[in-house]
Structure 1
Amino acid sequence: MISSSMDIRPITRGLAFYTIIAGAITVGCVYFLTYSGLYTVVAAGVGLLLVILGGAASITTGPTFVEGADEAAISGTMTEENQFHPSPADFDTRTVLLFYGLGLVLWSVLVLTFFRSGLQ
């Protein structure tokens, strides 16, 4: 359940940048440089691979964060600083792989669907 104090703006900015802008630029460059359906399918495959790698990456937390977490959660003294609030400049590799891979898949499917007559 999402708490009311959770700010999703950083996540939406990261999603917008990596999925919409970076994915569109990459697939657009592939399309306009090659006009090849094969390379566009390869871009979609690479995007799918990035999504899989991003989802399979393990999350590690340091021992200093974990040591007092149970006691703080029980006593109710967990502060706002200990919650995870990612900023777009601070995304971990896993999140970047997921967002960018989704962008590659999305834009490749759109190019294959709408520009099919212009592909070789």
Structure 2
Amino acid sequence: MSQLEEKQEWYEFNQETVDALKEDGSDESQPHTIEYHLAGEDFDKLEKAAVDAFKAGFEVGDAEELILDDGGTIFCFDAVVERMLDLDKINEDTDTLLKIADKHQVHFDGWGTYFIEKPVN
């Protein structure tokens, strides 16, 4: 898959996720904690990606070691930012983190957030 195709797939994922959050009634007036996921088999490469993500303005969590079903090991971390459900900003974040992942030969693995209840009046 080309980098352009991968970026387009992530943009579609971003659109679907933001639309689903809005349709489900997540409070659009509040910033959401967006947790972007990066992973790789080489801890040193992942650590360098974490430094670049931090320099790019993300809060970076500690790397975790995960044992895969096949017995292999990967390392992963979250790059976290507070964002409104603004598709353009999330796409910009995606672009930034895809470039960092490509530079350090690690895997960008999407993002997630939590539903925010609207206040009851």
TM-score clears 0.5: no
**Bigger share in strand:** 2
**TM score, norm. by length of structure 1:** 0.32
TM-score, normalising length: structure 2: 0.32
Which structure is higher in helix share? 1
Q: Which has the higher contact order (CA 8 A, sep 6+)?
A: 1
